[in-house]
Amino acid sequence: MKREFGTLPDGSQVHLLTLRSDEGLEAEVLTYGGILQSLRLEAGGEPVSLVLGLEDLPAYLADTVNLGRLVGRTSGRIAHGRYEHDGRTYRLSVNEGHHHLHGGSGGFGRRLWRVEEQDVDRARLACTLEDGEDGYPGRLEASVEFRLQGTTLHFDCTARCDAPTPFDPTYHPYFNLGGDPAVPAAEHWLRVPADRYLPVDAELIPLGEIARVDGTPFDFRQPVAPTRNTDLAHPQIRMGKGYDHCLVLADAADCSAELYSPHSGVAMRVSSDAPALVFYEGQILDAHHPRLGRGVCLEPQGFPDAPNRPGFPDAILRPGRKYARRIAYRFARVAPGSAWEDAMAALTEGFAQK
């Protein structure tokens, strides 16, 4: 289903696309920014809202915290809005202090996408970024597909460019599986099979070190609520005023992350081909959207500031190569208050239950 959602200042019409699966998962996606405006799970009882969303287009146009947006060309920060490649210095737009964040002010999340295909349970959107937009070299053709299969939301991004350009997109929903904004998402149980993380400086730029998580608040290899795992005296937690860090997945990682709300009984498994996951606690929401409550971001991606860090995995998309990134969000529902093991078993077995 497709309906009008609002009009941009230039007169362009924004649409909301509703997708439904045959197992009770429903997603609503905006053509503006590819925003995941809502995601609900109906299987096993009353519908549960899974992500935070805003009511109308003016609210999204004013939003500065990337609520539910597509993120690109790059995710995370590029220090001082510049990088060097093949002996040339490129200067990108600066939209967070002295730095470039999430593709800049004109990135994926702040443009109108074309609807290429739509069916009951899937939609494919496309957009073109011209050479020089936000300082990036090359004309980039990108497409994203949203597809519901059972209780899984699949997100697939592909792109080609005619010049070498940094490219590392991700998706930025704020998840609260409790179905109630009064239930803090940081009290959900979280597991991330990451054995290393990237320490940052006071402006949240990676220092270049890839540190072990052992003995730190960044060890989520066993399920634990972030509120119970944090150490407010830890210098890295002080830097981010909470969690806002890139966790490097172990070679043998079985997923990107798992999240479970005992309050609602809803569990989620995030799977991706990305080498890392940024865990953001959503602390900025308190100031920008106080009525929404808290949601956590689990962002599969490469390493932030990779174009400036030779020791990080390469993040340059080159002409003649097709980029592909996949993310899958799988949901299951058990009785509220169930043990973590029961919720994970429901995810693995692929069915929802009361």
Confidence of residue 350 (pLDDT cuts 50, 70, 90): low
Residues 125, 50, 288, CA angle at the centre, nearest 5°? 85
Residue 173 annotated in ligand binding: yes
User: Can you tell me the distance from the alpha carbon of 127 to that of 33, in angstroms, rounded to the nearest whole number?
Assistant: 10
30-58 residue pLDDT tens: 999 999 999 999 977 789 999 999 999 99
Whether residue 354 is predicted with pLDDT greater than 60 in this model: the reply is no
Beta bridge partners of 303: none
User: Can you tell me the distance from the alpha carbon of 106 to that of 149, in angstroms, rounded to the nearest whole number?
Assistant: 32
87-144 residue pLDDT tens: 999 999 999 999 999 999 999 999 999 999 999 999 999 999 999 999 999 999 999 9
The predicted model gives 311-334 an average pLDDT of 96
Secondary-structure percent of the chain, ordered helix, strand, coil, rounded to 5: 15, 40, 45
Which domains does the chain possess?
2-349 (2.70.98.10)
Q: Is 23 a catalytic residue?
A: no
8 Å CB contact between 33 and 140: no
Residue 172 annotated in ligand binding: yes
Average pLDDT, the chain: 95
In 3D space, the residue among 184, 208, 194 whose CA is nearest the CA of residue 254 turns out to be 194
Specify the DSSP class assigned to residue 135: G
Whether residue 353 is predicted with pLDDT greater than 60 in this model: the reply is no
Q: Which two tokens stand for residue 321?
A: 């190569």
Residue 224: HSE in the Cβ half-sphere, 13 Å Cα cutoff: 12
In 3D space, the residue among 322, 314, 305 whose CA is nearest the CA of residue 275 turns out to be 314
Beta bridge partners of 18: 28
Q: Residue 291: phi, psi to the nearest 5?
A: -80, -10
The predicted model gives 21-32 an average pLDDT of 97
User: Can you tell me the distance from the alpha carbon of 17 to that of 31, in angstroms, rounded to the nearest whole number?
Assistant: 8
Residue type, 12: S
Q: Residue 208: phi, psi to the nearest 5?
A: 100, -15
8 Å CB contact between 21 and 121: yes
Q: Is 172 a catalytic residue?
A: yes
Which residue in the list 15, 102, 172, 289 is annotated as catalytic? 172
Residue 174 annotated in ligand binding: yes
155-193 residue pLDDT tens: 999 999 999 999 999 999 999 999 888 888 999 999 999
Percent of the chain with pLDDT over 70: 98
* Residues listed for the chain: 354
The predicted model gives 285-304 an average pLDDT of 93
Q: Which two tokens stand for residue 238?
A: 């002080």
The predicted model gives 240-269 an average pLDDT of 96
